[in-house]
Structure 1
Amino acid sequence: MSVVEQYARAHIVTDADLPQEGDEAVPVVLRYDPANDPGSVRIRLPDSPEWTFSRSLLEQGLRVPAGSGEVRVWPCGRVQAVVEFHSAEGVCVVQFETKALLRFLRRTYMATPVGTRETSAGTHETSADSRETSVG
């Protein structure tokens, strides 16, 4: 199992009428560490803490609006997706190209397929109810 790290560009969405710094694409790091937490993905934005949430939430949110805890994900048209992060400081809304998130998800499933978990011996075991993933 290896760590999956992918760099992407995203737009920070603001509600301001005038052009803002957020209008330009910013670098974002998408990260998956199956040895640490095979069910979670991480997103690190510039000047922001790293957000950790379930890999299945990201996948579901690319098809239909989904949310859990402080994170919401939903499709935005045919080629974009929005990820919304809630914190004590406020809300951060980030718009991604869907293909970048799909590419990242595919790579995470190659590292640790759905229904596979690491056993205490460090080997992999596939659960009886594992299913095909619907990632593009």
Structure 2
Amino acid sequence: MSTVIEQAVQARLVASVPRMETVSATLRYDREDPFAVRMAFPPPATLEGVEVSWAFARELLAEGVEGPAGLGDVRLRPYGYDRTVVEFHAPEGVAMVHVHTSELRRFLKASQRLVPRGREREHLDWDGNLGRLLEERP
């Protein structure tokens, strides 16, 4: 069984102009990093012209499809019928996208089949992580 789940989603970029541009994004969950999800945007969808990936807690995503969640760099909230707003806060500014809530729920269900909620600690590589941490010391 694969230890990684990837799902393409369509995100509608919210901008100051009336028209919202649709951009592709990829949601990613890796059993080896069981508490996190990643949302990546391809180069054409970013200001810098390079792929940008944001990592945040899977629990934040689960909370954000139900109600407002997040206080830091990533914030989510439901918006209307079957939409979730995902905000990415950076020193350069804030990017907001709308994603179909049903796509986010499908991704969450797939990730929870791979690693059930509350059992993430069982998939951490404590020895490997500690070894890498000790190797990095001068």
Q: The TM-score by the shorter chain falls in which range?
A: 0.7 to 0.9
**For the structure 1 residues 109 and 92, does the alpha-carbon distance in structure 2 shift closer, same or farther, using more than 3 Å as the test?**
same
Q: Which residue of 2 aligns with 1:118?
A: 123
> TM-score, structure 2 length as denominator?
0.78
| Distance change >3 Å, CA 118–CA 79, structure 1 → 2 | same
CA contact (8 A) 1:57 1:68 kept: no
Query: How far, CA to CA, are the matches of 2:7 and 2:94 in structure 1?
Result: 24
Partner of 1:32: 29
State the Cα distance separating 1:69 from its structure 2 match.
Answer: 1.7
Identify the residue that residue 67 of structure 1 maps to in structure 2.
70
Structure 2 gaps of 5+ residues are 47-51, 128-138
Same amino acid, percent of matched pairs = 39
Q: Which has the higher helix share?
A: 2
In the aligned structure 1, how far is the partner of 2:86 from the partner of 2:124?
Answer: 32
CA distance in 2: counterparts of 1:120 and 1:5, whole angstroms: 21
In the aligned structure 1, how far is the partner of 2:40 from the partner of 2:55?
9
Q: Of 27, 35, 42, which aligns to 1:46? A: 42
> How far has the Cα of 1:24 moved from its partner?
3.2
CA contact (8 A) 2:34 2:124 kept: no
SS at match of 1:66: coil
* TM-score relative to the length of structure 1: 0.79
AA partner of residue 6 (structure 2): E
Q: Deviations over 1:31-61 (max 9, x none)?
A: 00111x1001000123342000000001101
User: What is the CA-CA distance between 1:121 and the residue it aligns to?
Assistant: 8.8
- 5+ residue gaps in structure 1? 123-136
CA distance in 2, matches of 1:119, 1:82: 30
Partner SS for 2:60: helix
How far does residue 78 in structure 1 lie from its aligned partner after superposition?
A: 2.2
Partner residue of 1:56 out of 37, 56, 59: 59
Measure how far apart 1:115 and its partner are.
Answer: 1.6
Aligned CA distance change for structure 1 residues 118 and 102 (closer, same or farther; 3 Å): same
Q: CA RMSD in A?
A: 1.8
